[in-house]
Structure 1
Amino acid sequence: MRLPLTLVVALTFVLAAALCGVAASFAVTAVEENSEIAVRRALDLNGHDWAEVEANGLQVQLTGMAPDEAKRFNALSVVGAEVDASRVIDRMQIRPSAGMAPPRFSIEILRNDSGISVIGLVPARMDRAALITSLGRLAENESVTDLLETASYPVPEGWNDALGFAVKALDMLPRSKISVSAGRVTVKAISDSGADKKRLEEALNRAAPPSVRIGLDIAAPRPVITPFTLRFLIDEEGARFDACAAETATSRARILAAAKSAGVKGTPGCTIGMGVPSPRWARAVELSIGAVAALGGGSVTIADADITLVAAEGTDQALFDRVVGELQTDLPDVFALHAVLPEPEKTSTAGPPEFTATLSPEGQVQLRGRLGSEDMRFMVDSFAKAAFGSSVVYTATRIVPELPGDWSMRVMAGIEALATLKNGALVVKPDNLILRGVSHDEEAGASLARLLAEKLGESHSFELDIVYEEPPLTEEAGPDPDMCEAQLVEIQKAGKINFEPGSATIAGSSATTIEQIAELLQACGPIRLEIQGHTDSQGREEMNKQLSQARAQSVLNELRARRVLTSTYSAVGYGESQPIADNGTEEGREANRRIEFRLIRPELLDEETTALEEIEATENGAAENADADADAAAGTTGADGASGEDQ
């Protein structure tokens, strides 16, 4: 049976359509696969392995998490180079960026006679108005310049403590610059004197909370020394200084080197100050000390440009003439020399005239000996009562005519010097003045040497024997912090703080030790102290650190319970990280299980050279070069410019 023609035609069209559909399907699949492979390869070659590709017909769909907008845009560009951009469907996302790190907050506060200025970046949540109000109270009638900027970030840890301490420090320091950051304060200031500098450093160290690191750079101006005095002597007790002054550190080093060559032992002090009469001071001192050494004894006193050389009694006349002649020739032009060779004492049945004054530790004064007239006795008695108090002076002097013409001047100068001591004795003789005693001032010897050199003049000799004694502690001041730290160590040597095994509970046997420590710390006052806990190496490191922290905190709590002010204390556990003995033995482990008390000391910053010091250094360098040129011309050798004979 034959099919109708129309049916055959219809079936042909249906078959052709089916074949076309199959062919089209294969073609689309091929395009999808080729597009996806090409795009995938291009993305991988350009480092975009985070991107995913999916082809859907002619469309290419991109997904994935782009690290940032730039990487996403670059991926689109790479894909656009492989396929028509109109076929690309972008469904890529951008990874959320992490929060920006907060800036470093810091401020600088400058205070001087014109007022207070503050500049820097502070957290917006900080009470800025309270800070400016506090500064305004310090400035009183002066202005407060507010140049602060703010940023909307949380207040960092340690910021408020550091800022509070900075305001306290600013209250103590009318001329200062204070830098503040989280947990750290740096102080640069000018004090009125060396003693004031020490007092301020101690006060700031006590006031700083334990959580704040402090750096101190407090400058003390060099004292003005008038007259600019140096006194060096060699006697039966050896070579030493009664007073020493230098204008720079270089000058001081030269002077001390000359003194050591002359026989001085140890490291004597020498004050650096202002008021030097000549940039060639060190040269004059070196020559003078060398002259005393060449004589074998005696003393030299230099007051400004006047030099008094007194040889020891019995010095050979020829040696004296030669040494004095060489010194006179070599001294720089500005200096004037007065040399004395004492005559041997003549025996006399009546004895030499003498005046004595004694000052007892209780403040009682006795005046005895010889005075030239009734008017002089009245003058000396009145002067002594004015210096010491009218109720403590007892006068038992006698009138002797024909005393030396300068007798009254020497007696008055000696009493004035004696009044500066805690206790002592004065002896005035025709050819000498002797002052011995005790002082609470470390610079008393130098000050008295300057005073007597100025009052007596260049033609008179004197002897000083001044002993420095630590001033007694007042109830308000309390012991020195270093002494407190040392005493804490001694207490634990006698009785160690022990704990129950594996516990932070203080053993009952340590109660006495805790009581002693609490009593000492109450006397020490608000020192900055770190209570350190340490363990042996047994057990896990983290557990040991936690245990040491708990034990240090237990000691702190016990001190608080005994009414010790602990606001400046901190408790820190170091675990097994700081052993002091071998953990391989039981004795070593027992030693490592301990509590230590350590002062939190400030960081002393390097001092900067001032413009004045730079100018002086230049001038002194020029003077030293001139000395070296002069020595070279004279054919001398040695780093100090001394001649071969002087050496």
Structure 2
Amino acid sequence: MRIANFLPVLAIFLAGLVMSLAGAAIGARVIESTSTKAVENQLIMRGYDWVDVQGDGLQIVLTGTAPDEQTQLAAQRAAGHVVDPARVINVMNVVQQEAIPAPRFSIEILRNDSGISLIGLVPSNWDREGFVADLKKSSGTGSVADLMEQADYPVPENWGDATKFGREAIGLLPRSKISIAADGITLTALADSKEQKAAFEKKLIKALPDTLPVAIDVAAPRPVITPFTVRFLIDENGPRFDACVAETSADHARILAAAKSAGIEDPNCTIGLGSPSSQWAAAVETGMRALQELGQGSITYSDGDVSLIAAEGTSSSMFDKVVGELEADLPTTFTLHSALLQSEAVAEEDDRPEFIAIRSPEGQTQLRGRIPDERSQAAAEALAKAAFGSHSVYSAMRVDNDLPEGWALRAMAAIEALAELNRGSATMTEDLVSIRGETGNENAKAEIAGLLSEKLGDGAPFEIDVTYVRKLDPILNLPTPQECVERANAQIAANKIVFDPGSIELNAAANDTLDKIAEVLKDCEDIEMEIGAHSDSQGGEVMNLNLSTQRANSVLDGLLMRRVAGVSFTAKGYGESQPIADNSTEEGREANRRIEFKLLNAEDTQTSAADASDDEDAQAGDTETEDGSQGENATSVAEDGETE
């Protein structure tokens, strides 16, 4: 065949070859572009946006500067998750790392009777063995436990001065702890006496290096102090200590805090051994407060004996009160002796012994004043606890051996008479027993008069100023103020006061509920009660407040019309400010639209029985003496309600 016949076939073959090569080149570029883009996206998603990704045929070349080797390898692994790891070429650089700083070298040197221990980190090229040998030589002990670690870093500046001082100090101090470092030294040690402590400190100061700071704390044992004494005074120059000791750091801080509270600017107190009680600081603090209450004088603690001397001019009744309370508050290991300095004229006029028993409206009973001996004191306390309850009696009586004959029996009679009152006081002096207060027993005055006549004897003077208070009468069983409020709210809970939408007028159902409320409140006396009206959150806030105020006033007017005489009402609108349920639901809004009663005088405002003896107007009542004369009854009437 001729060559011309093969030319077409050869042309076709060459054309196919060219097309195949072109297709392969195009496919390689597509794969390169796709792989590069996929790796870039993966690295950006992982946070490696500092990596520059370039395609080189089927290979992926990573360039850029990594912050560290670990991050560099992590970026390479992230690229290998997208393409074959064999195709990833890592030519990334790593930021040049700064040199790792040297550690802080330090040594803890501990020395006691068992020997020396070394703990810490030291430089490798430091003469460690020589230091240990010098310690053995200077301290005279062959027992040195070397537990130090070492690191291959240069010896820091001042390290030589620090270790030299540590070596000299440890040789001087048999019980010590020394912390050595190139930037400072801390030393704590124990001495056998104050003299040895001073000698140690003198030698240590001489050996101090000039190149670094040193903190020295050498402690000596606390001295034994006998007698253990505190003397606190208050005079015209102010408060001060003549002597002050404490046994522990905590007691020391407590006494100094009490002194600063009393007005001593820079108090000083010695720490020593010998306290007669673990409650020494508490006892001293109690006595300091007692002297502050008196105003001037002195209090001295000598072991377990306490002497309180009040300044001339101090009220005798105040002195008795403070002494009685101090006797009650002091720990049992302390014995109190007291004296009141007075001129003869003042003593004759003011030093009149008293015994006072007070019963408060809350049911607490206080016994204070004078009693002839401890046996009589215990008997009076037992009688009071039997009459008023063991947990409601507080005793602050003062023992006085110079009281008149029969004093204890008359004090017992005063306590028994006070037991007939709900609240009041019994005051006894040498020539009179006075009973004042309030009672729920209509016959209390007669019963008290009979009791005192029998106990005190014929002709003994006494006076009775007792008021009958109807609400205290247990026979009438009148409700308490809280019970009255609960009864009113119970009626509302059973028959809710509902107003027509947008209205402030009481409807028929609301009037029926007010009739029932007035009925349950008819036995309530001397009570202040708030009528609170509340709304839901629909509408404007100001509008809701005004609407609730007007509705509260409507309820007030309705109760005033029903003549609830024993209760003083106050009307107040709260608007939407105090919801009790969710305003987003109809049920919640319904609950929030409500009327509530609240007690205003939660605490009894009756005049304190303790002040009754000083204020004739505080308890106006019948006054009956042994001759049967009577004063006028005082009656108070509560006004009907007021509207805020």
- TM-score normalised over the length of structure 1: 0.41
- TM-score normalised over the length of structure 2: 0.41
RCO higher in structure (CA 8 A, sep ≥6) = 1
Larger radius of gyration: 2
